[in-house]
């Protein structure tokens, strides 16, 4: 009897537990708390947290190459670039590019915010990261989870968990991170600038937009093809109005299913041996830096554009150039309406907000062209 | 050992590349929207004249 019990204990994971596993459990429980209690990006942080928990239970071999269940999700979903483009298909079917079509100049604000990515890339190099790792860290500033995962899996897969969690965690913290930077870089008079009504956009313009954007971006930056093609196809489904079933499938069932596998697979890369590393702390610090610099560069781009525009734009909308749809736009609207109660900036901020999604994909494509 | 020439190349081509691609996309979109608006106005005119 005693021998059976001894065998049971010795063959269990309990005797193989390491202090590192226990620390990773704490990380997983922290993500559960943030997702369930605080409701910070629960759709991602919950499966990521569960992935961390199960991969840090000894002898389960869930991430064992060619054997573990989660390894297959990771290998075919993330390493083979299936999941991030499918998430983009769903996003495309959900996003309304109307505010961007009404004011294409906001594309420049989406581009301006990407400067923060490259400043962070430079800062990461100075802190001792190699070029590929620095690019994976810089892309966090784009505030775009699927693009962060897509680039990270290609350039620095050993840091994928840290960069992805950092991106999603800071996206949830946009309402806390952005307002102080907005107030610091704008005057009261600038924040009070009112913007007129957005011009109406015809159905034909909405249909033509994804086709032209897909063609131009893929011709100029071919490595962006997997992401931008899916994003624009999803949007074409939505705007064409003739494939309601495909639009619904992309924006509901498909994106929900791939989100589960994306979160679980990313979380499962965070084993104690990989994650408990002083560099991971630096990744989180640089991720925050990337968010701040991207917000600032978007704002400064708007102020620069105002030097040439007859009808001035409210520079706050530049801060929405860091994707994080739609939190960044809501944040801009809140700060703008605090300065001037008649200010209604939400729809104006949605233009740079969705332009930021395209801008981050272009930035990732340029990183891949140079370093991939 | 960091290859600083490569770092500067990635930094410069990244900042300029994103701005150029997005700027080019903006110009092409503006042109195509103007063309669409022109045709939509042309189609609307005969309809309103008939009415």
Domains contained in chain A, number:
1
Mean pLDDT across the stretch B34-38? 93
Q: Is the pLDDT of residue A321 over 80?
A: yes
Which chain A residue has its CA at the smallest distance from B5's CA?
A131
Q: Cα separation of A107 and A300, whole Å?
A: 14
**Complex ipTM:** 0.90
Is the pTM higher than 0.90? yes
- Whether A2 maps to a domain, the answer reads no
Q: Does B31 touch chain A (CB under 8 A)?
A: no
More confident residue, A349 or A6: A349
Q: Write down the mean pLDDT value for chain A.
A: 94
Inter-chain CB proximity A204 and B13 less than 8 Å: no
**pLDDT digits 0-9 by tens, A306-318:** 999 999 999 999 9
Q: Is the pLDDT of residue B42 over 80?
A: yes
Q: Is the pLDDT of residue B48 over 80?
A: no
Domain that holds residue A157: 14-371
**pLDDT digits 0-9 by tens, A118-140:** 999 999 999 999 999 999 999 99
- Whether A48 maps to a domain, the answer reads yes
- Whether A9 maps to a domain, the answer reads no
Task: Pick B36's closest partner by Cβ from A107, A135, A202.
Answer: A202
Smallest CA-to-CA distance from A267 within A35, A39, A66, A95 is with A35
Using a CB-CB cut-off of 8 Å, the residues of chain A touching B15 are 114-115, 118
Q: Is the pLDDT of residue A157 over 70?
A: yes
Task: Pick A370's closest partner by Cβ from B10, B24, B29.
Answer: B10
Inter-chain CB proximity A209 and B29 less than 8 Å: yes
Mean pLDDT across the stretch A155-178? 90
**pLDDT digits 0-9 by tens, A7-62:** 888 888 888 899 999 999 999 999 999 999 998 889 989 999 999 999 999 998 99
Using a CB-CB cut-off of 8 Å, the residues of chain B touching A309 are none
Q: Is the pLDDT of residue A101 over 70?
A: yes
User: CA A8 → CA A3, A15, A22, A323, B43, distances in Å?
Assistant: 8, 10, 21, 51, 81
Inter-chain CB proximity A115 and B2 less than 8 Å: no
Smallest CA-to-CA distance from A105 within A292, A300, A306, A363 is with A306
- Whether A200 maps to a domain, the answer reads yes
Q: How large is the angle between the packed helices A131-138 and A145-155, nearest 10 degrees?
A: 170
């Amino acid at each position: 009897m005693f021998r059976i019990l001894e065998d049971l204990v010795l063959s269990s994971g309990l005797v193989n537990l390491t202090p590192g596993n226990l620390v990773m459990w704490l990380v997983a429980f922290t993500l559960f708390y943030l997702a369930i209690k605080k409701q910070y990006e629960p759709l991602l942080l919950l499966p990521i947290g569960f992935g961390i928990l199960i991969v840090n239970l000894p002898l389960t071999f869930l991430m064992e190459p060619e054997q573990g269940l989660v390894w297959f999700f990771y290998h075919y979903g993330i390493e083979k670039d299936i999941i991030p483009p499918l998430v983009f298909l769903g996003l495309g079917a959900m996003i309304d590019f109307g505010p961007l079509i009404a004011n294409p100049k906001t594309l420049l604000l989406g581009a301006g915010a990407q400067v923060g990515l490259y400043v962070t890339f430079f800062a990461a190099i100075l802190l001792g990261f190699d070029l590929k790792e620095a690019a994976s860290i810089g892309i966090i500033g784009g505030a775009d989870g699927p693009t962060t995962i897509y680039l990270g899996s290609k350039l620095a897969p050993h840091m994928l968990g840290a960069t992805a969690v950092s991106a999603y965690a800071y996206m949830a913290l946009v309402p806390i991170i952005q307002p102080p930077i907005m107030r610091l870089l704008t005057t009261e008079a600038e924040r009070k600038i009112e913007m007129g009504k957005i011009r109406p956009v015809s159905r034909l313009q909405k249909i033509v937009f994804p086709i032209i954007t897909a063609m131009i971006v893929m011709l100029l930056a071919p490595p962006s093809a997997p992401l931008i093609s899916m994003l624009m196809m999803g949007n074409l489904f939505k705007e064409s109005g003739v494939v309601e079933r495909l639009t619904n499938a992309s924006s509901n069932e498909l994106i929900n299913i791939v989100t589960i596998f994306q979160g679980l697979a990313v979380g499962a890369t965070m084993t104690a041996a990989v994650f408990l590393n002083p560099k991971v702390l630096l990744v989180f610090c640089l991720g925050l830096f990337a968010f701040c610099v991207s917000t600032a560069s978007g704002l400064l781009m708007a102020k620069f554009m105002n030097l040439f525009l007859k009808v001035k734009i409210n520079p706050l909308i530049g801060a929405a150039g860091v994707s994080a749809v739609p939190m960044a736009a809501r944040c801009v609207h809140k700060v703008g309406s605090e300065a001037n109660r008649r200010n209604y900036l939400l729809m104006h901020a949605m233009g740079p907000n969705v332009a930021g999604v395209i801008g981050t994909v272009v930035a990732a494509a340029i990183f891949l062209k140079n370093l991939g | 050992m960091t290859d600083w020439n490569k770092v500067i190349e990635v930094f410069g081509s990244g900042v300029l590349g994103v701005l150029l691609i997005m700027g080019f996309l903006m110009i092409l979109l503006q042109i195509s929207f103007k063309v669409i608006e022109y045709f939509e106005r042309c189609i609307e005119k005969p309809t309103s004249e008939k009415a």
